[in-house]
């Protein structure tokens, strides 16, 4: 009996065995040559070579799990062409991350204005002006850093042993003018460059604790529009020597700029001494901090007392400016003084964007109102003197309040009629109706979670925390301390608050859904 194959009954069985061995030893033909019989039993054509087989496994990098890449980096198998990047989306254009559009909010007058080229030149050349008016020999100039260092101790850690009339000594006056007065001019000229102060011909002003006439000289440098005004200044200080030195400097400065100087009446006396007439402008810089340090009375009582004394100098529609160092205790005093002046018929014009309670009262371990700027563009010789004295400065700060007397009689009539006459109150009400909120930036930039940046600010709603990310964060980084901006007002009924400080959160730009700074 013959064993045969099912497909060819005429062939003996051993022929099948020979054919199988022959097929195992033969080299298979290249897939790209001629026709090839596929698994389906039909012959494959050239058109089949251009498309991948439906059941062919994908090449996969077992280490990274990325499809389309080879483990060993070998070239792709022939007959299955792929893009050179081995990625199906290689030719697809990439899209940038979604960033919400952001437009910078409207801005108002900042605390620190830009100095004109003339003002910068006058500041740079101040040491020459001092040397011409109050000359020192070379030996004393070499010892100036040491004299400045000793004066620094007198004004700080040795304050309790300091004599009341310490500024009557010529060596102390020289060190004070060449260092402290120069730095104060750097601060005050920036403030006066944007302060809304207007004076007319024939107006009188009083500068309390005048020292070497720092306020007058800074105002002359920063406000050339006031140089041609015929003004009368009462300059009050307990040290006659420093008043004389300041007048010499002021007259030299007026001659340098080619203008007739303001009339100056020097008055030797303490704060509260009377002058012959009421004045339209009352100023004081760095005086009150020397009065309340060692007093036994609470600082609240001291602020009320000094506010009443300031008002005694002021005429109708007069303005009062008080400037103090930007340290917490001075910020507390300025906040209390502002409150007392408002109770005496004044309204805060700057830096406050509202008439409400101060949201930065400087309570213990709390935030206080002060403004800071970098001193990189201060005169180079001033920086050199500071470094030689071991008192280098890279930032300068101050706290201040600028207030104007309101018309009490007019206010009484309008209040009886149910009408509010305060311009700032009217503006605040209009802003409320249109949903706008003026905010004065007080703090430095703060890094918050979720890539946000924050800045604390003062507003009629109290303390707010401006926040933003992407372009809004960049904007907050570039804002300066003391900038005034107008933002969309948050809901008054139930605003979101910062967990750490309790400040009302005010996001700039469109926030991401469900996200925000959390601390």
Q: Considering only residues 509 and 278, tell me which one the structure prediction assigns the higher pLDDT.
A: 278
Q: What are the tens digits of pLDDT across the range 201-234?
A: 999 999 999 999 999 999 999 999 999 999 999 9
Domain 117-411 falls under CATH 3.40.50.1860: no
Task: Using the structure block, give the residue that is written with the tokens 């498309």.
Answer: 51
Q: For 365, left (φ over 0), alpha (ψ -120 to 50), or beta?
A: left
Once rounded to an integer, what is the mean pLDDT over residues 431-445?
Answer: 82
Task: Using the structure block, give the residue that is written with the tokens 């008192």.
Answer: 391
pLDDT for the residue 162? 62
Q: Are 442 and 458 in contact (CB under 8 A)?
A: yes
Question: Could you tell me the fold of the domain covering 435-519?
Answer: OB fold (Dihydrolipoamide Acetyltransferase, E2P) (2.40.50)
Indicate the pLDDT class of residue 92, thresholds 50, 70 and 90.
low
The least confident of 37-41, 319-323, 508-512 is: 37-41
pLDDT for the residue 157? 65
Structure tokens at 225: 């529009």
High-pLDDT (> 90) share of the chain, %? 64
- Of the candidates 389, 410, 477, the residue with the CA atom closest to the CA atom of residue 104: 477
Q: Are 477 and 435 in contact (CB under 8 A)?
A: no
pLDDT for the residue 415? 43
Indicate the pLDDT class of residue 485, thresholds 50, 70 and 90.
very high
* Residue extents of the structural domains in the chain: 117-411, 435-519
pLDDT for the residue 33? 45
Q: Considering only residues 52 and 241, tell me which one the structure prediction assigns the higher pLDDT.
A: 241
Most confident of 223-232, 282-291, 490-499: 223-232
pLDDT for the residue 406? 83
Q: Give 363: exposed, middle or buried? Use CB within 10 Å, 0-12, 13-18, 19+.
A: exposed
Report in angstroms the alpha-carbon separations of 506 from 265, 354, 427, 468: 50, 17, 20, 9
The least confident of 149-158, 169-178, 253-262, 265-274 is: 149-158
Q: How far is CA 391 from the centre of its chain?
A: 24
Residue 165 has pLDDT above 90, yes or no: no
pLDDT for the residue 153? 87
**How many residues are there in the chain?**
519
pLDDT for the residue 387? 96
pLDDT for the residue 343? 96
Average pLDDT, the chain: 81
Q: How far is CA 131 from the centre of its chain?
A: 36
pLDDT for the residue 35? 42
Indicate the pLDDT class of residue 357, thresholds 50, 70 and 90.
very high
The least confident of 306-310, 486-490, 511-515 is: 511-515
Report in angstroms the alpha-carbon separations of 112 from 115, 188, 222, 350, 373: 9, 9, 11, 11, 8
Q: For 470, left (φ over 0), alpha (ψ -120 to 50), or beta?
A: left
Rounded Cα gap, residues 403 and 444, in angstroms: 25
pLDDT for the residue 410? 34
Once rounded to an integer, what is the mean pLDDT over residues 312-338?
Answer: 96
Q: How far is CA 408 from the centre of its chain?
A: 37
Q: Are 295 and 302 in contact (CB under 8 A)?
A: yes
High-pLDDT (> 70) share of the chain, %? 71
pLDDT for the residue 49? 40
Once rounded to an integer, what is the mean pLDDT over residues 237-247?
Answer: 95
Helix (H) or strand (E) holding 206: strand 204-208
Residue 120 has pLDDT above 60, yes or no: yes
DSSP line for 250-311:
HHHHHHHHT-PPPEEEEEES-TT---SS-EEEEEEES-THHHHTT-SS-HHHHHHHHHHHHH
Q: Are 235 and 275 in contact (CB under 8 A)?
A: no
Rounded Cα gap, residues 242 and 172, in angstroms: 10
Residue 386 has pLDDT above 80, yes or no: yes
pTM of the model: 0.76
Residue 56 has pLDDT above 50, yes or no: no
């Amino acid at each position: 009996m013959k064993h045969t194959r099912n497909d060819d009954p005429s062939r003996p069985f051993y022929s099948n065995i020979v054919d199988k061995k022959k097929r195992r030893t033969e080299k298979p033909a290249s897939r790209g040559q001629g026709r090839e019989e596929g698994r389906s039993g039909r012959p494959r054509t050239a058109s089949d070579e251009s498309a991948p087989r439906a059941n062919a496994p994908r090449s996969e990098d077992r280490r990274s799990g990325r499809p389309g890449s080879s483990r060993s980096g070998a070239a792709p198998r022939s007959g299955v062409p792929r893009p050179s990047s081995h990625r199906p989306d290689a030719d697809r254009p990439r899209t940038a991350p979604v960033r919400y559009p952001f437009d910078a909010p409207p801005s108002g007058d900042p605390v620190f204005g830009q100095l004109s080229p003339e003002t910068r030149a006058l500041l740079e050349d101040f040491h020459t002006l001092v040397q011409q008016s109050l000359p020192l020999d070379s030996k004393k100039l070499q010892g100036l850093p040491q004299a400045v260092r000793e004066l620094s101790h007198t004004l700080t850690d040795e304050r309790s042993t300091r004599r009341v009339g310490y500024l009557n000594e010529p060596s102390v006056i020289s060190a004070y003018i060449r260092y402290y007065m120069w730095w104060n001019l750097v601060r005050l000229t920036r403030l006066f460059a944007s302060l809304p102060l207007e004076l007319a011909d024939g107006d009188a002003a009083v500068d309390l604790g005048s020292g070497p006439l720092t306020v007058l000289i800074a105002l002359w440098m920063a406000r050339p529009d006031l140089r041609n005004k015929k003004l009368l200044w009462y300059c009050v200080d307990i040290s006659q020597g420093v008043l004389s030195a300041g007048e010499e400097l002021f007259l030299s400065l007026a001659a340098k700029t080619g203008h007739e100087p303001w009339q100056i009446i020097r008055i030797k006396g303490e704060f509260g001494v009377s002058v012959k007439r009421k004045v339209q402008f009352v100023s004081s810089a760095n005086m009150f901090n020397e009065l309340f340090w060692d007093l036994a009375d609470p600082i609240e009582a001291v602020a009320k007392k000094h506010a009443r004394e300031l008002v005694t100098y002021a005429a109708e529609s007069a303005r009062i400016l008080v400037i103090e160092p930007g340290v917490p205790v001075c910020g507390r005093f300025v906040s209390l003084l502002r409150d007392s002046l408002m109770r005496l018929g004044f309204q805060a014009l700057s830096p406050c964007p509202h008439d409400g309670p101060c949201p930065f009262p400087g309570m213990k371990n709390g935030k206080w109102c002060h403004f800071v700027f970098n001193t990189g563009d201060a005169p180079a010789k001033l920086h050199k003197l500071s470094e030689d004295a071991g008192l280098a400065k890279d930032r300068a700060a101050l706290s201040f309040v600028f207030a104007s007397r309101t018309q009490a009689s007019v206010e009484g009539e309008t209040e009886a009629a149910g009408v509010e006459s305060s311009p700032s109150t009217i503006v605040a009400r209009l802003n409320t109706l249109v949903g706008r909120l003026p905010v004065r930036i007080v703090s430095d930039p703060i890094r918050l979670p979720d890539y946000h940046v924050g800045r604390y600010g003062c507003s009629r709603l109290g303390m707010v925390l401006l926040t933003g990310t992407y372009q809004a964060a960049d904007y907050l980084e570039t804002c300066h301390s003391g900038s005034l901006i107008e933002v969309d007002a948050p809901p008054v009924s139930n605003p979101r608050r910062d967990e750490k400080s309790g400040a009302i959160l005010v996001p700039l730009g469109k926030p991401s859904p469900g996200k925000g700074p959390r601390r």
